[in-house]
Structure formats: C-alpha cells, structure tokens
Amino acid sequence: MTTTESDDRAINETNATTLEANLSRIEELTQRLLVAMNPKRHVPTSLQGPSPDLYAKAASAYVTEMMNNPGKIIEQQVAFWGKSVKHYIESQHLLAQGKLAHPVDETAPDRRFAHELWDTNPYFNFIKQQYLMNADAVRDAISAIDTMDDGEKRRLEYFGEQIVDMFSPTNFLATNPEALSLAAETEGESLVAGLENLIRDLEANDGDLVVTLADKEAFEVGRNLATSPGEVVYRNHLFELIQYTPSTEMVHEIPLVIFPPWINKFYILDLKPANSMIKWAVEQGYTVFVVSWVNPDATYRDTSMTNYVEDGYLTAIDQVKSICGVKKVNAVGYCIAGTTLSITMALMAQRGDKSINSATLFTTLTDFSDRGEVGVFLDDDFVDGIEAEVAEAGVLDRYYMSRTFSFLRSNDLIYGPAIKSYMLGKAPPAFDLLYWNGDGTNLPAKMSVEYLRGLCQGDNFATSGFDIADTTVRLSEVTVPICAIACETDHIAAWKSSYRGVQGMGSKDKTFILSESGHIAGIINPPSKKKYGHYTNPELGLTPDDWLADADKHEGSWWPRWDAWLAPRSGKQVKARTPGDKNHPVLGPAPGTYVAK
C-alpha cells in the first residue's frame, strides 16, 4: 500500500468517525428539542395572522374577476403555465444533450440567492427560477383583483408577500445549496451546531422560536453600550431622569431633554461613543437630559396615556427646569415619544404653559390617515386580539411588538438570521444595533389600547381631537417652533405621513428634514460616518411628492444642520452644569437601573 493510499484511508476513517459522532449528537439533541418545545407560549389565533375574512374576500373577489373578465385571468394563467413549461422543456433539452447547464437566467439579482451554486448548478438554478416565476404569478393574481377596497388590497399584497417569502427555497435545507455544501464539508458539524442554536433559542424563549439576532455575551449595557458619563438625578414610577456630564466649559442656557420611545430602551441614542447621539449633543455644548422609561409589568395595567403625559413628560420637564434654574427647555421626542410630546404640547398650550421653547421630532407620526407599512397590523382583526390579550395579561408583552416589527422586514430579521443560525450553524454576530433590537419592553394595557384605538385607528389627534387629562387636544394646537426629521425608507413611521403631520401643526416656525435610510439608521447617523445624506425644502405647503421633487439634497448627516437650528433657540452661554443639585441628589450612575429590567 502506498503512502498516499494509506493517508486517504486514514482521512476517510476520520471523516466516517466524525460523521458518526455528529449523527449520534443529533439524536441526543432531538430529545432535548422535544423537551424544549413543550412549554410553548399560547399565542391567540387573532395575533397569528390576519382574519380569515381577508382571504375569503380575496377569493370572492378573484372569482368575481374571473366571471366578469375571464380573458384577463386566462391570459395570466396561460402566461404562467407557458413560462413554467418552457423552462422545464429547456432544462430537459440541455440534459438530453449531455450538457450540465441551465437555461438562460434573466432573473434580477436577489440577495437570497447570492451563493454561486444558484447560478452554476442546473438543479438549484431550476428551483430558483421556478420559485421566482411562482412568486410573480402570485403577485400578478393579487394585482389583478380590482373589487377590493384599497386598504384590504394593501393588506392582501403584504400578507401574500409574506407567504411568498416564507416558501423561498433558501428557507429549506433540501433546497439550500449553501447549507448542503457546508454540511458535506464539515461532516454534518454545521447541522449539529445549527440544531444546538435552534434548541438554545427555544429554551431561552419558553418554547417559542425567536431567532437570536446578536451575540448576547458580546454586550452589556453600562460596560460597552450606554457608556456616556452621567447620573440619575430623579426617579418615579414611570422613568429615571439621566443628566449627562458636560464635556465643554460652557453650555447653552436652555437644556435639552430627550424623550425616547418606551417601546424600546433609550440606549439606541448611546450605543457606542462613535455613534452616540447623546455624546455628540453633549460635545456641542448642550446640557443633555434623557428619560429612561420603566419596563412595565402587569401592575401597570391601568397606566394610561394621561399618566405618561403628566407623570412622564410634564414631570420630567419640571425637574429639568428646577435642576437648571430655567423657565424653558428644548425637547426631543422619538417615534411614539414624539407623538406623545406633540400631544403634551397641545395640552400645555391649553393650560398656558410655555415651558417648551422648541421641539424636535424624530420619525414621528401625528397624522395617521396613512399608516404606512405597519398599517397592515392595525385593522380590527389584530387590534381586537391585542385588546383581549392585554385585558388578560395586563401588558402588551414585548414578544408581540418584536414579532410584528420583525415581520415588516422578515427576510432581514427572521429568515436570513434563521438560515445562518440553524442551517449554517453560525454564531450570531456581535452587532450592537441588533442586540438593542432584541432588548425590548412591554407596554401597559390601557395605554396600548388608547394609542392603537385613538391614534393609529381613529387618527383623532389630527381630526376630531384626542382625549387626554380630562380635555381634548388637537394637532393644530401645537404652536412651538418645530424641527421634524423623517426617514426616507422608514417602514414604521412613513415619511409622507410624518410630513403631513407637521403641515397640520399650528407652529409658524416649522422645519422638515428628510434623512436617507430607515427608522433607526436614518436617525443614528453621526457626521463622522459620512454615510447617509438628507433633503431640505422650506416650502411646507407642497404635497409630499412635490416637496421631495423640489428639495435640496445634502451629503452627510443631518445632525450639524439640526445643531445650527437648535443653537439659536438655546439661549446664551453659561458655565457647564454638573449633574443634579441640592434638591436632586445623585441616585446612581448612568445608564441607571430601569434600563436593565
């Protein structure tokens, strides 16, 4: 026997041993998997998908279309059949000629099919092309329905796309060449690692399959996230107030108080020093306060929007005024916190309270006449389910919020990460933004229903008026200087709706900035990155499309432009303030205790 033959035999024996060990490990893990799936959370049917009525209406509309215009339906079907049969025949013809090749592939680039075998292997290319044909056929069928109202049609298009995405061949091991190749190369080790990742996620979530998006061991709030120096200077049942340590000798007289959304935790504004908006604002010479909201449990079931306004916003503003010895503050509200800040300002206007000198709104909706992509989850079928769930639980559990927002970007936040983790056996990345994304919060029962019914569904603030604190407030009552920043591809707060909300405000001094990118990346866009640009146009009487068509495009972050707007509205320069005062002793270092719950 030659040395080469001996080496090959040894390698084969080693590979066989490795494969056998991996198969044995899979058997052990399968038993653990069955145990992990037992305590699965009960998710009400109403929160698992749209009402069956939507699909019943779609089927009825399709049948009506077929009867009224059979030629159009037949044309669509024949076109789909023709493409599919032609594709099959061409593939068979090449194989009959002994050519290991696929027919001409004119499909558009798609990140899901980036692996080279989708283009070079006839089998996988056939599957890819046929899937994309099927997907187009589904879209064409939905598009052809003309007898559904616009809202139902949009929902059908969205949930139809969800079904199409779910059946992508990349989502199944037998039709994912990257996963199969890696399994062969590693003697099944990648599949074992993937199964371990799957079981870990099930065990961590009581039997629910929630994909871990980021390495949880790589980050710790207060250690390498939310590290800007500061102190907690006030605390009540709803929030901790953090005052940040100045980094300049002089500061603007009027302090800046930031209200983040209580749907998430505040440290999106302070992830790392390089992209921390809080750190940047301190460096521009502002006395910065941030509200860190409590993560409510069932004891908060009766906490209302009025509580958030009075015990949250108004209380925080009063504390900041007292600590700094001033009569006014500049306020910032992000997302739902911007909506509630606007409601607070309308209430303050009725009360004659002029404590807010100017307000900045990040990705804020105040006009809900067009709810954008997230609107598909805001019809009665879902909201009725949420109302029933919170009546029983006392809170809207973070699980439902996280799942809803993930499905708005399912390929990026569900299927893509699941493939990498469960099929390829890869560890989740050390990505701070995804870590924050997975660190969600609950919502109080009463507040969540008031928000969904009165604002998202009823659009009351921009129309008939929103009831708060024993009065009714309207969008037109917001009269302080406003700077609103929206994001071009925001899937949560559509920029055109944000723009229409600013148009409806009564302020004479209004500025609107449109940042490139989405709900998070468009806001957390530090100047040093030189990444996303922004648009400006002082003519706010235009339609959103006309506003953008006539807008000036600027390279780089909008942060310096906001600073140029905010600085003249922030008073004279005074000596920098250390956190707290004699009536507000330091309660502990930033980022506080509420953020850890």
The catalytic residues are 335
What is the residue whose two structure tokens read 């009536």?
583
Q: Which residue, among 492, 488, 461, 493, has the nearest Cα to 474 in the 3D structure?
A: 461
Phi, psi of 158 (to 5 degrees): -65, -50
State how far the Cα of 553 lies from the Cα of 534, in Å rounded to an integer.
6
Compute CA distances 275 → 265, 517, 520, whole Å. 16, 16, 12
Quote the longest CA-to-CA distance of the chain. 98
Instruction: Report the alpha-carbon distance of residue 113 to residue 563 in Å, rounded.
Output: 43
C-alpha torsion sign, points 305, 205, 521, 221: positive
Residue environment code for 509-531, b if the CB has 16+ CB neighbours within 10 A, otherwise e: ebbbbbbbbbbbbbbbbbeeeee
Contact yes or no for 333/340 (Cβ under 8 A): yes
Residue type, 106: E
Give the pair of three-digit tokens for residue 306: 């009025």
For residues 3 and 7, give the distance between their C-alpha atoms in angstroms, rounded to a whole number.
6
Backbone angles phi, psi at 443, to 5 degrees: -125, 135
Residues 6+ apart with CB under 8 A from 13: none
Token code pair at residue 194: 């993937």
What is the distance in angstroms between the CA of the first residue and the CA of the last residue of the chain? 67
Angle at 322 between CA 319 and CA 326, to 5 degrees: 120
Classify residue 297 by its DSSP letter: -
Which residues have CB under 8 Å from 350's CB, separation 6+? Answer: 471, 473, 477
What tokens appear for 411 in the block? Answer: 């390929």
- State phi, psi for 591 to the nearest 5 degrees: -90, 15
Q: Which of 264, 231, 286, 252 is nearest to 595 (CA)?
A: 264
C-alpha distances (whole Å) from 597 to each of 403, 438, 489 are 20, 13, 31
Does a cis peptide bond (omega within 30 degrees of 0) precede residue 579?
no
List Cβ neighbours of 201 (8 Å cut-off, separation of 6 or more). Answer: 209, 210, 211, 212, 421
Cβ atoms of residues 278 and 417 within 8 Å: no
